[in-house]
Chains A and B, each alone.
Chain A
């Protein structure tokens, strides 16, 4: 039970890391290598608000979400849309977006470095034990997990029950046909990209309550997010959630019962096995 809950909590962390990228890649077709930097930037914002003004990260996110949404929307409109227009094929866009967002990630690391310096940053927030069915857990992790549940739940409902959400899913499944039925693909892709960025930044703010970050750590989160999104299947919120939770539980199982030294090895083995047996990821659609 202890292992299960610890695993679920870790899975919540992973969902926060990967959910934004799933929206960005699944809908806007941008493999955003600057995803981790956006996460660290969100963490920086929460850190700064907390240390400078004693403002809770759980309040900061309400300010952070609209700001980063606009920022990411602009990034898509200004930087990435020209690439989408220019690309003759899916492969071309993939290549171009890898190059462009790789550059963007460097730019963001450089900016954060000059604004905040290269030092580690962390702060103590809700670092208290909470007892759940007889075992102790960190309150900040539990709180972040609950926030992750709310965010993922809201996204799921919105994607499945709103008009915009349905259109976004239509784009994820068949971008060309979506255009034919009168969906404004460009507009919605920008929306999804902005939303993805906002989710990632909010995730970063929540993670910063228990992880130690610095300006250069973004790449670690990008790698993890890529692995989770692909494992779950591109463009499917459920897939990402399942993959994140699965990864969290497997890592915790291995760490608790086998050897903590093998946690990441186990995670990558799981990832590779899943792809070998389901090449399109857990919930991905078979390519036609």
Chain B
């Protein structure tokens, strides 16, 4: 008899605890995030990805949470380090979907890792709002994975708009006809250089120096010296973070006199402006934002206050916008993932970058393509369907 009572008691206890924890779970929205904290892409993710996840969660919870059908539910972030290894990304997303049973998952970081995770998102019905995945394969990918969305633009748009900016400068009589172009020999650089090469030729530019260098090259001075010997009017490098710094430093040292100077990933990082100071003035790169926009300024301020670091002028705000999109979609249709995915397809979202909506290929049609350092800020100079771009300035020496 006694034993039975004890058993009953235990069962009741177990039931209440499980109910209690169940109740707690129901009150928070679990958001999963897996991206590099270590490995080759960790440096980029530490700037553009992780701080925004932290910032967004802090801001939402400060407001009391997300409004789901009238109840305020705080968000809980579950994060994993995928070590820049696609195998680990796959495992981490699996874990988030099946073990942690999170409500939504933030996109991984870097084209290769995002695309490797896409099948898992699709299998468990999680919508994927990709940010740091720039590709021309968007139609094919969104056909295979109907709930995969793209925000940061396409390879072609980035390359085309860069060529267009230079063409406009030439038409205005600011720039000669000779282009020096280099690229990092990795998928990203190869893809961009390939598109740009065609567009430069089409626009009647003369490519006087065209070369690539391997990832992890420790001395890029031959690349700058080679370009300098060809006496170009504009210099374009489809580069990765360490090389972006190294190429620019070499250009300063060699005093490479060009009217336009472009380097790719990491140019919009605050560290770039801090590193080169006045010499950065006039350097162009991918992305850009409307820095005069009050929304962006407010975001940048909050970013610095919460995470202790400034946002970059490209993927940071877009990453944050992707979370705002989730936020608005959840508040509109609730926690049902299918409903959210459908809502993403049709809705228009008011983000820090301005309105975002997705076309029939799940592609965001409004994004920044080219930015330029002007007086210590990286301002957008070209975009697709975005307001607030400023006129481009000539690269006037390195002082």
Contacts and interface: CB of A to CB of B under 8 A. Distances in A.
A177 interface: no
A104 to B, nearest CB: 15
Contacts of A60: none
Interface in B190-239: 211-214, 216-223, 225-226
B211 A260 contact: yes
B164 interface: no
Interface residues of A, number: 46
B42 A136 contact: no
A265 B214 contact: yes
A158 interface: no
A97 B112 CA distance: 33
B42 A255 contact: no
A248 to B, nearest CB: 8
A136 B249 contact: no
A119 B226 contact: no
Interface stretch (A5-13, A27-35, A164-172): A5-13
A127 B277 CA distance: 12
Contacts of B47: 119-120
B10 to A, nearest CB: 41
A214 B216 CA distance: 13
B212 A137 contact: no
B43 A127 contact: no
Given A10-B219, A119-B271, A138-B221, A260 B42 contact: no
Contact of A127 (B37, B217, B220, B252): B252
A261 interface: yes
A259 interface: yes
A263 B213 contact: yes
5 contacts: A113-B37, A118-B43, A120-B271, A211-B218, A259-B211
Given A10-B219, A138-B250, 15 more contacts: A110-B38, A113-B37, A120-B269, A124-B277, A128-B253, A138-B221, A212-B242, A214-B42, A251-B219, A252-B219, A260-B220, A260-B222, A261-B212, A264-B216, A264-B217
Interface of A: 2-3, 6, 9-10, 13-14, 109-110, 113, 117-124, 127-129, 136-138, 141, 210-217, 220, 224, 248, 251-252, 255-256, 259-261, 263-265
